[in-house]
């Protein structure tokens, strides 16, 4: 209830928290000498450290370990706050260091090509086209785009309401091509889906219910696998949206608001992405960009 009511956590987040806590309980039960149920008051820092070490030995990724530790921290802090526990066993545990690779960004040509891959004039391909256009047009997270309802879209003003982390709402511009793709998709549906209640989901699965984030991820992977660079995740469309806006002169504050970032520092990573692209263009196009790789006069050359 705390996660759902006070923190406005999504159902997916709640499922992950429940799974991570149960995973710790199962590990402790396996390693316990007697068969008595595990009591939360008995869990120690060494228990949690041993659990994380065991997951690491099994090949769990550092990002997954960090997420699981963050979940356990939140759980035990809650128990301390509710005075169920006196001390927090996760208090001085350190998260694993995570690599920070720059996210993959599609070129503008690849982004345009991706939008064109769904071609059949039937509901599911038209839905896929509308989803791709909407994600690239708005920079929406995959969880946000599947959460769009019919009454969230204001076609007249070209604006859509997105519900981000913590259920925070923000209004984001949506382009004409995305609106056109949505109209074509909705027109292809048979009643009552097309004329559903305004709070009905915008994007439907084949059974008429709301499409899931996993289905969207599979769809994006399937179409993007045709690109030269291979398949991408839905988040790559969000990165591409921000980087392409920056390339075209949009300021960071505006991009921050449209992405729904709480901190400008989160948005600033896109300046690095844009710089990487500029350097790549420079290296390939400038006549003296690779001069350093050529032999200098009088060095390593045979005299004629």
Q: Quick check: is 235 catalytic?
A: yes
Decide which of 81, 116, 148 is a domain's last residue.
81
Q: What per-residue confidence (pLDDT) applies to 304?
A: 36
- Residue 5: phi and psi, rounded to 5, are -90, -50
Does residue 28 share a domain with residue 124?
A: no
Looking at the DSSP assignment, which residues form a beta bridge with residue 149? Answer: 201
Does residue 251 share a domain with residue 163?
A: yes
Q: Quick check: is 270 catalytic?
A: yes
Q: Quick check: is 165 catalytic?
A: yes
Q: Quick check: is 61 catalytic?
A: no
- Is position 53 within any domain? yes
* Residue-wise burial string across 146-184, b where 16 or more C-beta atoms lie within 10 A, e elsewhere: bbbbeebbeeeeeebbbbbbeeeeeebebeeebbebbee
CA-only gyration radius of the chain, Å: 25
Does residue 260 share a domain with residue 120?
A: yes
- Is position 92 within any domain? no
Catalytic residue among 141, 163, 239, 244: 141
Does residue 232 share a domain with residue 144?
A: yes
Nearest-angstrom CA–CA distance, 264 and 162:
19
Catalytic residue among 165, 170, 210, 269: 165
Q: What per-residue confidence (pLDDT) applies to 296?
A: 41
Nearest-angstrom CA–CA distance, 296 and 215:
56
Catalytic residue among 68, 238, 239, 244: 238
Does residue 251 share a domain with residue 115?
A: yes
- Is position 88 within any domain? no
Nearest-angstrom CA–CA distance, 168 and 58:
37
Q: What per-residue confidence (pLDDT) applies to 202?
A: 95
Does residue 260 share a domain with residue 131?
A: yes
- Is position 121 within any domain? yes
Quickly count: other Cβ atoms within 10 Å of residue 297's Cβ. Answer: 6
Q: What per-residue confidence (pLDDT) applies to 248?
A: 85
- Is position 289 within any domain? no
Does residue 149 share a domain with residue 56?
A: no
Q: What per-residue confidence (pLDDT) applies to 210?
A: 94
CATH of the domain at 130: 1.10.443.10
Task: Write down the pTM of the prediction.
Answer: 0.61
CATH of the domain at 72: 1.10.150
Does residue 253 share a domain with residue 118?
A: yes
Q: Quick check: is 168 catalytic?
A: no
Q: What per-residue confidence (pLDDT) applies to 111?
A: 95
- Is position 99 within any domain? no
Q: Quick check: is 129 catalytic?
A: no
- Is position 161 within any domain? yes
How far is the CA of 224 from the CAs of 70, 116, 117, 128, 237, in angstroms? 32, 11, 9, 12, 10
Q: What per-residue confidence (pLDDT) applies to 293?
A: 42
Locate the DSSP E strands across the chain.
Answer: 153-154, 159-163, 169-173
How many domains does the chain fold into?
2
- Residue 183: phi and psi, rounded to 5, are -60, -45
Does residue 268 share a domain with residue 121?
A: yes
Does residue 114 share a domain with residue 46?
A: no
Domain with 138, as residue range(s), is: 108-283
Contacts of 55 (CB under 8 A, 6+ apart): 64, 65, 68
How far is the CA of 47 from the CAs of 28, 59, 61, 76, in angstroms? 7, 19, 20, 13
Q: What per-residue confidence (pLDDT) applies to 282?
A: 59
Environment class of residue 33 by beta-carbon count within 10 Å: exposed (0-12), middle (13-18) or buried (19+)? exposed
Does residue 252 share a domain with residue 138?
A: yes
Give 10-residue mean pLDDT values along the chain (304 residues).
62 85 91 78 91 92 90 91 90 79 83 95 95 95 94 93 85 93 93 63 93 96 94 93 86 84 72 62 58 44 38
- Is position 294 within any domain? no
Does residue 266 share a domain with residue 189?
A: yes
């Amino acid at each position: 209830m705390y996660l759902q009511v006070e923190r406005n956590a999504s159902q997916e987040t709640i499922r992950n928290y429940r799974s991570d806590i149960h995973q710790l309980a199962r590990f402790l039960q396996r390693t316990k000498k007697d068969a008595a149920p595990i009591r939360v008051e008995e869990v120690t820092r060494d228990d949690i450290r041993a659990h994380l070490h065991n997951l690491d030995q099994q090949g769990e990724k550092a990002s997954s370990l960090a997420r699981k530790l963050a979940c356990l921290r939140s759980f035990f802090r809650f128990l301390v706050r509710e005075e169920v526990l006196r001390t927090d066993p996760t208090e001085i545990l350190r998260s694993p260091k995570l690599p920070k690779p720059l996210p993959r960004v599609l070129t503008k040509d690849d982004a345009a090509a991706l939008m064109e891959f769904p071609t059949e004039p039937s509901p599911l391909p038209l839905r896929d086209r509308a989803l791709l256009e909407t994600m690239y047009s708005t920079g929406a997270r995959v969880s946000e785009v599947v959460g769009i309802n019919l009454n969230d879209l204001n076609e007249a003003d070209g604006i859509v309401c997105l519900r981000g982390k913590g259920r925070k709402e923000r209004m984001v511009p949506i382009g004409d091509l995305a609106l056109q793709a949505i109209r074509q998709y909705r027109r292809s549906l048979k009643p009552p889906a097309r004329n559903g209640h305004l709070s009905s989901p915008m994007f439907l699965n084949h059974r008429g219910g709301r499409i899931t984030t996993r289905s969207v991820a599979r769809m994006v992977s399937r179409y993007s696998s045709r690109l030269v660079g291979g398949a991408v995740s839905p988040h790559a469309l969000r990165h591409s949206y921000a980087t392409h806006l920056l390339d075209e002169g949009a300021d960071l504050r505006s991009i921050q608001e449209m992405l729904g970032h709480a901190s400008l520092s989160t948005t600033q990573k896109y300046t690095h992405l844009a710089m990487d692209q500029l350097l790549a263009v420079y290296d390939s196009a400038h006549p003296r960009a690779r001069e350093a790789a050529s032999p200098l006069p009088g060095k390593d050359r045979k005299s004629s």
